[in-house]
Amino acid sequence: MSTTQFVSKSTGQYESKAYSAAGPESSLTPATIKRREPGGDDVQIEILFCGICHSDLHQVRNEWSAMPTVYPCVPGHEIVGRVTKVGTAVTKFRPGDLAAVGCLVDSDRSCNSCESGLEQFCPNMTLTYNSPDTHLGGVTFGGYSDSIVVKEHFVLKVPENLNLAGVAPLLCAGITTYSPIRHWGVTKGKKVGVVGLGGLGHMAVKFAHAFGAHVVVFTTSPKKKEDALNLGADEVVVSRNIEEMNKHLTSFDFIIDTVSAEHDINSYLQLLRPDGNMTLVGAPDKPHAVSAMSLLFNRRSLSGSLIGGIAETQEMLEFCSKHDITADVEIIPIQKVNEALERLARADVKYRFSIDMATLKQSKTT
């Protein structure tokens, strides 16, 4: 661990080891990046684990036209580490504390969304990577690195009883599923459907189960039945089986759709009871074809959801602490990150990768 100390204001820059991509067809390779010295309201964190999100793959390959990638790109927004320095205005953290950083590192703190604790909807939010860096210029760099400096408001406390490698994906996959489950009032006695059993889906199952709901997993693969039941599902439906689907018509209070590939959502909308809701958290490249009749009958609703605010993310971590919930992860050294991204593209992981950032010390940077 670095020498811990308090600092009063930003005094410049320091070098940090990282893995970065030079272009859309480039592999991630060792690099040296600049970080700002922490100012009065900043927290510096030594990164211990960083999860690999599917959005990392999209960004590295510049696959989102709405969010073009600026290179070099250092991905990573599922960050868990230990505090090494804090500014004099910091009150919630001290050197040695466990801390986490998710998808956001700043916002304007003054818009209606921010004042409502919904920083994820701030029109001026700063993403953890590939956003304009108002401190150093260029763009922000993410968690595939050995340290990061973030304003205290956007740093989260990590419960001591949880496995840190499994905590990292909670900062994106966890809050992405927890937030809509909470928003739509999932409680004991509710019937909840989870479409897809990947990185997001397996977290949705764990949360819905912990809230006391009757959980039904929908999958195209019969081989996933045992896994789904072990994660907390009460039933598993093979979505290609029309008879199995029809048994659940007009019976669900809430369905969360985690699938990022093109698929028919109308077959799921018809499973909602009157006033039931289906929320999309997966983001397919092509728009969904939605039948008006699927919504008009029974006054059903279709919505989307994007991560959560800082307060809600902290609430999620405390909920996970209480219910002993973490992501199921495969821990990898940073040297295997490119292999992991290729496997992620093939959905060859159960259910998230978590990078052991201690292995970064073994890489020679440029």
Q: What is the mean pLDDT of residues 27-38?
A: 97
Region 70-76: what's the mean pLDDT?
98
User: Which pLDDT belongs to residue 2?
Assistant: 39
Are 13 and 136 spatial neighbours (Cβ–Cβ below 8 Å)? Answer: yes
Boundary residue ending a domain (267, 282, 304): 304
Q: Are residues 156 and 140 in the same domain?
A: yes
How far from each other are the two terminal CA atoms of the chain, in whole angstroms?
22
Domain span at residue 241 reads: 174-304
**Alpha carbon distance 114, 355 (integer Å):** 31
Provide the whole-model pTM.
Answer: 0.94
- Binning pLDDT at 50, 70 and 90, where does residue 359 land? very high
Are 284 and 333 within one domain?
no
Q: In this model, does residue 154 exceed pLDDT 90?
A: yes
The predicted-structure confidence for 247-277, as pLDDT tens digits, reads as follows 999 999 999 999 988 899 999 999 999 999 9
Among candidates 217, 181, 160, which has minimal Cα distance to 351?
217
Last residue of a domain, one of 304, 322, 348: 304
The enclosing domain of 53 has a CATH number of: 3.90.180.10
Dist CA 115 CA 132 (whole Å):
22
* CA gap 169, 158 in Å, rounded: 13
Regarding whether 104 and 235 lie in a shared domain, the answer is no
pLDDT value of residue 64: 86
My answer on whether 29 and 167 are in the same domain is yes
Q: What is the pLDDT of residues 172-203, one digit of tens each?
A: 999 999 999 999 999 999 999 999 999 999 99
Q: Tell me, what DSSP letter sits at residue 145?
A: B
Q: Are residues 129 and 157 in the same domain?
A: yes
pLDDT at 8: 42
Residues 187 and 161 in one domain: no
What is the rounded distance in angstroms from the CA atom of residue 363 to the CA atom of residue 338? 14
Q: Are residues 232 and 279 in the same domain?
A: yes
In one-letter notation, the amino acid at residue 336 is: K
* 61 vs 66: CA distance, rounded Å: 13
Do 77 and 142 contact (CB within 8 A), yes or no? yes
Kindly report the CATH number assigned to the domain that includes residue 196.
3.40.50.720
Quote the DSSP letter at residue 129: S
Last residue of a domain, one of 277, 304, 331: 304
Domain shared by 313 and 166, yes or no:
yes
Q: Are residues 184 and 52 in the same domain?
A: no
Non-local (6+) Cβ contacts of 271 within 8 A are 193, 245, 248, 249, 250, 251, 252, 255
Count of domains forming the chain: 2
Same domain, residue pair 275 and 335: no
Residues 266-308: tens digit of each pLDDT: 999 999 999 999 999 998 878 899 999 999 999 999 999 999 9
333 bridge partner residues? 356
Whether 160 and 19 map to the same domain: the answer is: yes
Three-state secondary structure of 186-208? CCCCCEEEEECCCHHHHHHHHHH
266 and 123 housed in the same domain: no
Cβ atoms of residues 40 and 25 within 8 Å: no
Residue 202 identity (one-letter amino acid): H
Residue 354 reports pLDDT greater than 90: yes
State how far the Cα of 133 lies from the Cα of 143, in Å rounded to an integer: 15
The answer on pLDDT for 6 being more than 50 is no
**The dihedral of CA 247, 251, 256, 260: what is its sign?**
positive
